[in-house]
Each structure stands twice: as structure tokens, then as C-alpha cells.
Amino acid sequence: MRSSAVARMACLAAGLVSACAREEPASSSSLSSSSAASIPEPLLPPVKSAASAPPSWLAELPDAAITVELGATVWAAPPEVGSELVTVAVYRVDALGSGVVSLVDKMGRRIDSVPSALVHAVGSPKQLPEGSLTLFYTWTTPGWLGRVSRAERGEELKVQFDWAGTTRETAVDHAEPGRTGIQPLAYVGFPKAGGKSIGQVLALDATRAFVLTGSGHVEMHARATLDSISFEPRGFTVGRKVHAYRWATGYERGTVTAVIEPGLRFEIKLLGSSPNSEYFITNLSAAQ
């Protein structure tokens, strides 16, 4: 439907993820070898439903008060028409209704009746020094995490991110500090197949969280089962113990054996006989 969704599919075709996200183990600040934290996972193409009925989780969303104003720039995550796929992106508020908001995307297309629980005010980009991690958006990508590469007054803010194993840099339409804790737009660890996976919180009610998973679908989880995730924007030195994330294997303990791109990309030796592999900063977290 939107260009951001197209970009999402493109990243899958290229074998992407470090900038996207996939499912598997994550965790809280003190990670174990079987439960560790990190960032997004690679995106899998959604299975389009035969019927055009909206996803069932939409009916479970809380009746949230509208806190945004007409004309405001906001984050939102409306489901794709005829699909379970959800994309986090930046929109402009075009109209306000009873518990719903009408949005306009960067291409000028209008999306009506978006539940207010899925609409969130953008944060300030003022606290984004070079080298910091950021939640960013461009008209060709959904909301992703990256690392600020240029933040000079009067110039475009630029962000580096992982695209199919290659570091790319882009000027952004919006960027702000990544959100932490258990709140909308923050990345959290949630239970999955006996371990932990990573997802982004889209909405909360008193006891549950609506979490966007690496497959692009939304799952509901008890808030008490979620783990807050913290990131390491300064990177790692050789010899540092880390948890390394890859969508096919989840999180594994390893050691930094080389700095490939300072502050961005590292070679990791995992426990066991696996060969050394490269990991982007957003797929690594410190291990004790």
C-alpha cells in the first residue's frame, strides 16, 4: 500500500535484517546465554488473508484518548489493507474522529479510521549527537533503528543503518532518540517458543502490550512478561563478551574478535564451532 511497505519487502528480498527485524531471543539488561537482548529482526512477507476483514487484534485495542492535534506529525502503525502486515511510519494528522484519526502519508495518500491507540506524537530530534542510536524514518523505509553519522546545525541529519550486510547512510525525514522501557515505539523482549524474541510496542492497555514482531504481524503479550532493552551506541572493543543476534539462530554468546567498521560493524566468534561472523551494532548487546 505504501512505499514504506515496499521498502520492507525489498529488504527481505535482499536478505536484510540488521536494520529490519526478525524473531528470536532477546532480554533484559542482564542477559543469559539463552535469553539475550538486541534489536529488530528481519522482516518476513506477511500472508495475505483471503478475506478483507481487519486483523482480530484491532478489536482488542484500548479506547485511548486522542492526544495529537490536527496537522501534527506523528508515528502510527495502521495495518495494510487486505493484509496482516503492519508498518511503523511517520504521518500527518488530517482529521480527528471519535477514537480514530485520519492520516496522510509522505506520498499524500490518506488513511482513515486509524485507532488512536496506534498513533503517537513524534519525539524531539534535538538530543541526537553523532554516534547516538536513533529511531528514524525516511519515505523509502519504515521506522528503523540506526546510528547518527552526521548531526551538524544547518545540514541534513544523516543516519547509518544495516542493509543486507552493508552499511548504508541516508538523510532522514525524521529521527529521535530510541525509546526505552515498556512504552509505545520501544523495542522489547517478549516470550517466544520457550525463549525470547524482539518486537516493537505499538500500543498498551492496563495489562497487555500489542507488539509488532519481526514477521510484520502483531501479537498481544502480558506487560509483565516483557523485558526492556538497552542498546550500546558506542560499540565494542576486541575481547568484549557480547550477545549476538541473527534471525536464523537467535541470540548466542560470543566474543568480539575484530572491529570491522568502528562503532558500527564487528566480527564475532560465537561459542562452539561456528565460524566468525559480522554483526551490525544494532544486533549486539553486552554480555556479563
The conformation of residue 188, written as its DSSP 8-state character, comes to E
Q: Which residue, among 185, 229, 218, has the nearest Cα to 26 in the 3D structure? A: 229
Question: Which pLDDT tens digits describe the chain residue by residue (288 residues)?
Answer: 444 443 443 443 333 334 343 343 333 333 333 333 344 444 444 444 444 678 899 999 999 999 999 999 999 999 888 788 899 999 999 999 999 999 999 999 999 999 999 999 999 888 899 999 999 999 888 899 999 999 887 788 999 999 888 999 999 999 999 998 999 999 888 887 777 777 899 999 999 999 998 888 999 999 999 988 777 888 899 999 987 777 666 677 899 999 999 999 999 999 887 889 999 998 887 776
The Cα-based distances of 31 to 93, 176, 186, 236 in angstroms read 40, 26, 18, 17
Show the cell assigned to 247: 534471525
In sequence order, the β-bridge partners of residue 121 are 74
Say if CB 9 and CB 17 are below 8 A apart: no
The Cα-based distances of 66 to 22, 74, 78, 115, 246 in angstroms read 31, 12, 15, 9, 38
**Which amino acid is it at 91?**
Y
pTM of the model: 0.77
Say if CB 245 and CB 262 are below 8 A apart: no
